[in-house]
A and B are shown apart, each in its own frame.
Chain A
Amino acid sequence: MSKQSAEERAIGYWKANISLIGILLAIWAIVSFGLGYLLANPLNGIMIGNVPFPFWMAQQGAIITFVILIFAYAKIMDGIDAKFDVNE
């Protein structure tokens, strides 16, 4: 790390951050707009317990995923902050 200039570090850090955000937002969109809405009609026959899967995703599953996504971001960023030596 020490051989890199501060500028290179900042660029690398920002790239790592952007790719992480991209991955997490893709999951965010898939669980809510994808499984909850766009595929709601074709997937309506699949059941979770006694509840149709799209209904469960749109009213329960996606929200649970959202909470996990935010904590995952915070946790992974702790590591990225430390790796690029920009942590507090």
Chain B
Amino acid sequence: MIALLLPALAVVVTLLLALGLASVAAGPGRQGRLASRGSLLLCALGGLLAVVQLLSGAEASSLSLGIGLPGLPLHLALDGLSAAFMLLLMLTGAAAAAAALDDHGQYDSTAPFFPVFLGGMALTLLAADGFALVLGFEVMSLASFALVLTNHRDAEVRAAALLYIGMAGLGAMCLIPCMALLAVGADFTFAAMRTHPPEGWRALAVLVLVLVGAGSKAGLAPLHVWLPPAHAAAPGHVSALMSGAMTKIALYVLIRVLFDLCGPAQPMGWGAPLVLLGALGAVLGGLRANMEGDVKTVLASSTVEHIGLIAIGLGFALAARAADLPGLATLAFGGALLHALAHGMFKALLFLAAGATQHAAGTRRLDRLGGLIHGMPKTTALVLVGAAGLAALPPSAGFAGEWTLFQAVLAAPRLGGLGWQVLACVAAALMALAAALAASAAVRLIGVAYLGRPRTPRAAAATDPGQPMLAALAGLAGASLLVGLFPGAALRLLGPAVQQAVGTGVVGHVGWLTISPQADTAGYTAPALAVVLGLAGGLVYFIVRRWTVSGERRGPAWDCGFGDPPNWLPFGDPVTQYGGASFAQPLRRALATSLMQARETVDMPLPGETRPAHMKVRLRDPADQYLFALIGSWRSRVSHFADFMQFLTIRSTLAVMFCALLILMAAVAALEQL
């Protein structure tokens, strides 16, 4: 029975890929429905198989298919690590497929790519040789590129997709040589790579290449610039899948290469770049999430932040494993994995809700939303569950993951050496800052978009989405709550993955109800905390109800201290509410002035002019400014040079050839003299 799990999952992958073709054959009008329904069914099946694999102890099994390049048959394998990520992928995929059923026909044109996207990700997880891994990874990149282009008539969408495919190309350019460096002769199987871990410069090259190749896809700073625009450009269910699952698949590749294929004998220093880049991304992403004015860009920036937190955990796990501190390694890796799972749930939930909001209110801009809680009460309730995870409020899923990560980072000075101690302190401080920024971003998102009064008529007329979307949101919220209330159980479920990556299991640290930083001591007991918080909340509710007058009445909303409203707006102009930009201003002035080069310019009309005053804010991502602008200027220099060479005069062209000939001959002559 257990031996059949891998073939069954392989069949699921094949069916997902075939479903793409089948839905093309179904023709326009019907392809969206077919792709979504089929994906939903297959994802549910795949998720079930992954759970069975994890529960049954995750015995590793492998399979060699007869197909592939000549002499290079595809190898598949299923073990604890891939099963853990498969579970996450299939859960998110099922929710996204259910949400896509509520699509109103607008995603029909690119619907066939949806199951292919899922199939590519699943193939990456099942891959047991370099070729299959790269194949799955690239299918995933290309299919998601097509999905991002769904609304291709919008120039912004096209620009975002172009940036995205460019970064995917960079990833491929790094990932393929990385696999070639790991390969043993012409043997690309992971089993052979494990027996010959890389050493010396090859090991360093593998580290750099996988950090760029997989890190760029995961959204690891400073290669995260594609992430906010691409997530904003894609339809809701696609960005949910990209943020919830695709970034995790990239992290899986990172883990597979760094923890598994490179062997346990690598130096401690390997963890440092992950910690540094993670801390950088966490703060930058958190700050950007407070500044952006588009709901999905806010969520995508927050993805950068959470990926940064997970990367910090992975970095410390790598260092602790090298330093032979199994307890710390388990804690750090377990925290990273738990947070990846939690983030996959609540961020997918928030992206789906953002898609529903965009459909209902006609916009994603914070300064045109507001008051959605009146028209979309069910959605708002579910979004609150996700936002609690985003803000890491106990007992949400986000809190469990971040708490475990914090425990690991606070124990990290045990790694020894001044360098690691300083690094751990800096990482802890930046993580705390990032967590606070995330909480602020969540409050801003809920407060501006869902509370208050509608800023536009369209926002006032928003209604809850259809049944499939609500079911997807409720499913993700339920899973997220379960992970939050029983993080111990979730981590036990993921235990085989931790065991495989760092060599020790989670059993000493994790009970079914608690997670402890040190074996067999007190720790975080989420259900107890939930009961206490519930009791306190109930008490407050009781007191409030007991001591206040019954019945409800609605008064005028506070208008931010503005003067008397005009007659045609008896409750004041909703646009004068405290908005997203107002909320961001203190943080922008305190932090972003130096970190993101935030500059404000006020355009004040002259006396007598009738136009309104404007305040413009300009923000720049440092990665954009220092890394990509620099690369862009090099690129244009190279192309200018090529241009110059192309338009040389006849005599100059001859002279160039003549000089090249002379240099060549001089080199030959010099070599002969030696």
Does A pair with B?
A: no
